[in-house]
Amino acid sequence: MNVVIVGGGTVGYHLTKALLARGHEVTVIEPNEDRCRLFTEEYGEVVVRGECDVALLRRAGTERANVLIAVADQDETNLIACLLARRLLKVPRVIARVIDPRSRTTFEKLGIDLTVSSTGIICNLIEQGAITTEILPLLALGKGDLEIVELVLPPDSPALSVSLKDLPLPADSVLISIIRGDQIVFPRGSTTFLPNDTILALTSTKGVEQLKRVFYR
Protein backbone atom coordinates (compact mmCIF):
# COMPACT_ATOMS: atom_id res chain seq x y z
CA MET A 1 0.00 0.00 0.00
CA ASN A 2 1.01 3.59 -0.59
CA VAL A 3 0.86 5.55 2.68
CA VAL A 4 1.42 9.24 3.41
CA ILE A 5 2.15 10.14 7.03
CA VAL A 6 1.74 13.73 8.19
CA GLY A 7 3.99 14.39 11.18
CA GLY A 8 7.38 12.86 11.89
CA GLY A 9 7.18 12.80 15.67
CA THR A 10 7.51 9.67 17.77
CA VAL A 11 4.26 8.16 16.48
CA GLY A 12 5.18 8.95 12.87
CA TYR A 13 8.62 7.47 13.38
CA HIS A 14 7.43 4.11 14.69
CA LEU A 15 4.55 3.99 12.24
CA THR A 16 7.01 4.44 9.37
CA LYS A 17 9.19 1.67 10.73
CA ALA A 18 6.27 -0.74 11.09
CA LEU A 19 4.80 0.03 7.67
CA LEU A 20 8.14 -0.22 5.86
CA ALA A 21 8.81 -3.56 7.57
CA ARG A 22 5.51 -4.83 6.18
CA GLY A 23 6.53 -3.80 2.68
CA HIS A 24 4.41 -0.67 2.30
CA GLU A 25 5.52 2.44 0.51
CA VAL A 26 5.75 5.37 2.94
CA THR A 27 6.17 9.13 2.52
CA VAL A 28 6.44 11.36 5.59
CA ILE A 29 5.68 15.09 5.74
CA GLU A 30 7.60 16.85 8.51
CA PRO A 31 8.71 20.49 8.91
CA ASN A 32 11.55 20.06 11.41
CA GLU A 33 15.01 19.67 9.86
CA ASP A 34 16.46 17.48 12.63
CA ARG A 35 13.50 15.13 12.53
CA CYS A 36 13.82 14.91 8.74
CA ARG A 37 17.51 14.03 9.03
CA LEU A 38 16.69 11.29 11.53
CA PHE A 39 14.15 9.75 9.14
CA THR A 40 16.58 9.92 6.21
CA GLU A 41 19.37 8.30 8.23
CA GLU A 42 17.11 5.50 9.44
CA TYR A 43 14.80 4.85 6.52
CA GLY A 44 16.36 6.49 3.43
CA GLU A 45 14.48 8.88 1.20
CA VAL A 46 11.05 8.81 2.82
CA VAL A 47 10.66 12.42 3.94
CA VAL A 48 9.30 15.51 2.23
CA ARG A 49 10.26 18.45 4.35
CA GLY A 50 7.85 21.30 5.07
CA GLU A 51 4.56 22.39 6.57
CA CYS A 52 1.50 20.51 5.49
CA ASP A 53 -0.01 22.56 2.66
CA VAL A 54 -1.53 21.76 -0.71
CA ALA A 55 1.72 21.97 -2.69
CA LEU A 56 3.58 19.76 -0.24
CA LEU A 57 0.82 17.16 -0.04
CA ARG A 58 1.01 16.96 -3.85
CA ARG A 59 4.80 16.72 -3.76
CA ALA A 60 4.52 13.84 -1.31
CA GLY A 61 2.45 11.97 -3.89
CA THR A 62 -0.73 12.09 -1.83
CA GLU A 63 -2.87 11.82 -4.97
CA ARG A 64 -1.56 8.30 -5.50
CA ALA A 65 -1.81 7.30 -1.83
CA ASN A 66 -4.21 4.62 -0.60
CA VAL A 67 -4.13 6.02 2.93
CA LEU A 68 -3.16 9.26 4.63
CA ILE A 69 -2.40 9.11 8.33
CA ALA A 70 -2.21 12.44 10.15
CA VAL A 71 -0.22 12.19 13.37
CA ALA A 72 1.13 15.72 13.74
CA ASP A 73 1.26 17.16 17.24
CA GLN A 74 -1.66 19.49 16.68
CA ASP A 75 -5.30 18.51 16.06
CA GLU A 76 -5.84 21.46 13.72
CA THR A 77 -3.03 20.38 11.36
CA ASN A 78 -4.31 16.82 11.36
CA LEU A 79 -7.84 17.91 10.52
CA ILE A 80 -6.77 20.19 7.67
CA ALA A 81 -4.44 17.51 6.25
CA CYS A 82 -7.26 14.96 6.31
CA LEU A 83 -9.80 17.33 4.74
CA LEU A 84 -7.41 18.22 1.90
CA ALA A 85 -6.48 14.57 1.36
CA ARG A 86 -10.08 13.44 1.30
CA ARG A 87 -11.75 16.23 -0.62
CA LEU A 88 -9.10 17.62 -2.92
CA LEU A 89 -6.70 14.74 -3.47
CA LYS A 90 -9.33 11.99 -3.27
CA VAL A 91 -7.40 9.71 -0.93
CA PRO A 92 -9.68 6.73 -0.26
CA ARG A 93 -8.88 6.38 3.43
CA VAL A 94 -7.75 8.98 5.95
CA ILE A 95 -6.91 8.42 9.59
CA ALA A 96 -6.32 11.16 12.14
CA ARG A 97 -4.82 11.19 15.57
CA VAL A 98 -6.73 13.45 17.92
CA ILE A 99 -4.98 14.81 20.96
CA ASP A 100 -7.90 16.57 22.61
CA PRO A 101 -10.63 13.89 22.83
CA ARG A 102 -13.20 16.65 22.39
CA SER A 103 -12.00 17.13 18.81
CA ARG A 104 -13.17 13.66 17.92
CA THR A 105 -16.85 14.48 17.36
CA THR A 106 -15.88 17.55 15.34
CA PHE A 107 -13.66 15.39 13.10
CA GLU A 108 -16.46 12.87 12.67
CA LYS A 109 -19.01 15.51 11.77
CA LEU A 110 -16.63 16.82 9.11
CA GLY A 111 -16.35 13.36 7.56
CA ILE A 112 -13.11 12.19 9.14
CA ASP A 113 -14.61 9.08 10.64
CA LEU A 114 -11.49 7.18 11.61
CA THR A 115 -9.80 8.89 14.53
CA VAL A 116 -7.40 7.51 17.06
CA SER A 117 -7.21 9.10 20.49
CA SER A 118 -4.66 7.72 22.91
CA THR A 119 -6.61 9.33 25.73
CA GLY A 120 -9.68 7.41 24.60
CA ILE A 121 -7.83 4.12 24.23
CA ILE A 122 -6.19 4.40 27.64
CA CYS A 123 -9.52 5.31 29.25
CA ASN A 124 -11.17 2.26 27.63
CA LEU A 125 -8.38 -0.01 28.81
CA ILE A 126 -8.64 1.29 32.34
CA GLU A 127 -12.41 0.92 32.32
CA GLN A 128 -12.16 -2.64 31.06
CA GLY A 129 -9.30 -3.43 33.38
CA ALA A 130 -11.54 -2.36 36.22
CA ILE A 131 -14.12 -4.96 35.26
CA THR A 132 -11.95 -7.84 34.17
CA THR A 133 -8.38 -8.99 34.13
CA GLU A 134 -9.10 -12.28 32.35
CA ILE A 135 -10.66 -10.91 29.19
CA LEU A 136 -8.21 -9.27 26.85
CA PRO A 137 -9.58 -6.74 24.37
CA LEU A 138 -7.94 -7.33 20.98
CA LEU A 139 -9.73 -4.97 18.66
CA ALA A 140 -12.34 -2.26 19.04
CA LEU A 141 -14.83 -2.05 16.20
CA GLY A 142 -17.54 0.37 15.22
CA LYS A 143 -17.36 3.41 17.42
CA GLY A 144 -15.74 1.37 20.17
CA ASP A 145 -18.99 -0.27 21.29
CA LEU A 146 -18.15 -3.61 19.65
CA GLU A 147 -14.98 -5.56 20.27
CA ILE A 148 -13.12 -8.75 19.66
CA VAL A 149 -11.86 -10.23 22.92
CA GLU A 150 -9.72 -13.17 23.93
CA LEU A 151 -10.39 -15.43 26.95
CA VAL A 152 -8.32 -18.29 28.27
CA LEU A 153 -10.34 -20.89 30.17
CA PRO A 154 -9.06 -21.70 33.67
CA PRO A 155 -9.17 -25.30 35.01
CA ASP A 156 -12.09 -24.34 37.26
CA SER A 157 -14.18 -22.67 34.54
CA PRO A 158 -17.91 -23.32 35.05
CA ALA A 159 -18.23 -23.76 31.26
CA LEU A 160 -16.12 -26.93 31.11
CA SER A 161 -18.78 -29.60 31.50
CA VAL A 162 -21.44 -27.83 29.48
CA SER A 163 -21.97 -27.85 25.72
CA LEU A 164 -22.01 -24.50 23.96
CA LYS A 165 -25.75 -24.45 23.22
CA ASP A 166 -26.52 -24.70 26.95
CA LEU A 167 -24.25 -21.83 27.99
CA PRO A 168 -26.07 -18.64 29.00
CA LEU A 169 -24.13 -16.51 26.50
CA PRO A 170 -25.12 -12.84 26.25
CA ALA A 171 -27.43 -12.16 23.30
CA ASP A 172 -25.04 -9.67 21.73
CA SER A 173 -21.95 -11.83 21.56
CA VAL A 174 -20.72 -14.55 19.21
CA LEU A 175 -17.90 -17.02 19.76
CA ILE A 176 -15.68 -16.84 16.67
CA SER A 177 -13.27 -19.69 17.30
CA ILE A 178 -11.54 -21.77 19.92
CA ILE A 179 -7.78 -22.17 19.82
CA ARG A 180 -6.91 -25.55 21.37
CA GLY A 181 -3.16 -26.20 21.33
CA ASP A 182 -2.24 -25.71 17.71
CA GLN A 183 -5.72 -26.49 16.43
CA ILE A 184 -8.57 -24.17 15.64
CA VAL A 185 -12.01 -25.42 16.57
CA PHE A 186 -15.05 -23.75 15.03
CA PRO A 187 -17.68 -23.66 17.73
CA ARG A 188 -20.97 -25.52 17.16
CA GLY A 189 -23.87 -26.06 19.52
CA SER A 190 -22.44 -29.41 20.60
CA THR A 191 -18.91 -28.12 21.24
CA THR A 192 -17.60 -28.57 24.76
CA PHE A 193 -14.65 -26.74 26.27
CA LEU A 194 -11.33 -27.88 27.71
CA PRO A 195 -9.08 -26.12 30.23
CA ASN A 196 -6.62 -23.70 28.57
CA ASP A 197 -8.85 -23.26 25.53
CA THR A 198 -8.40 -19.78 24.11
CA ILE A 199 -11.69 -18.35 22.96
CA LEU A 200 -12.04 -15.50 20.49
CA ALA A 201 -15.36 -13.74 20.79
CA LEU A 202 -17.07 -10.82 19.13
CA THR A 203 -19.10 -8.96 21.70
CA SER A 204 -20.72 -5.68 22.52
CA THR A 205 -18.90 -3.78 25.24
CA LYS A 206 -21.91 -4.42 27.49
CA GLY A 207 -21.61 -8.17 26.92
CA VAL A 208 -18.06 -8.40 28.28
CA GLU A 209 -19.10 -8.61 31.91
CA GLN A 210 -21.65 -11.36 31.21
CA LEU A 211 -19.08 -13.34 29.17
CA LYS A 212 -16.83 -13.19 32.15
CA ARG A 213 -19.54 -14.72 34.38
CA VAL A 214 -20.13 -17.53 31.88
CA PHE A 215 -16.49 -18.58 31.65
CA TYR A 216 -14.98 -17.65 35.02
CA ARG A 217 -15.82 -18.56 38.54
Partner 1 sequence: MKALIVGSGRVGSFLAGQLVGQGHEVVIVDREPRSFKMLGEDLVVQRIATPETGKVQATLTAKTRIRCIVGSGSDEELLKTAGIQGVDALVAVTDNDYVNLMAAVIAKELYQVPRVIIGIINPRRLEIAQELGVEAICPLTLGAQAMFESLIR
Of 110 and 125, nearer to partner 1 (C-beta) is: 110
Contacting residues for 186 by C-beta, under 8 A, at least 6 apart:
177, 178
CA count, 13 A, side-chain hemisphere, 124: 21
Minimal distance, residue 74 CB to partner 1, in Å: 6
Binding site for partner 1 (CB under 8 A): 51, 53-55, 74-77, 79-80, 83-84, 87-88, 100, 102-103, 105-106, 109-110
Q: Which of 54/184 has CB closer to partner 1? A: 54
Are 79 and 104 in contact, with CB atoms under 8 Å apart? Answer: no
R_g of the chain computed on alpha carbons: 22
> How many Å apart are CA 92 and CA 7, to the nearest integer?
19
Nearer to partner 1 (CB atom), residue 102 or residue 165:
102
User: Cβ of residue 112: shortest distance to partner 1, in angstroms?
Assistant: 11
Helix (H, G, I), strand (E, B) or coil at 47: strand
Smallest gap from Cβ 35 to partner 1, in A, equals 18
Of the two residues 60 and 175, which places its CB atom closer to partner 1 in the complex?
60
For the chain, strand residue ranges (E) read: 2-6, 25-30, 47-49, 67-70, 93-97, 115-116, 136-141, 146-152, 173-180, 183-185, 198-204
Least distance to partner 1, CB of residue 32, Å: 16
Residue 77 or 173: the one with the smaller Cβ distance to partner 1 is: 77
As measured in angstroms, the least distance from the Cβ of 110 to partner 1 is 6
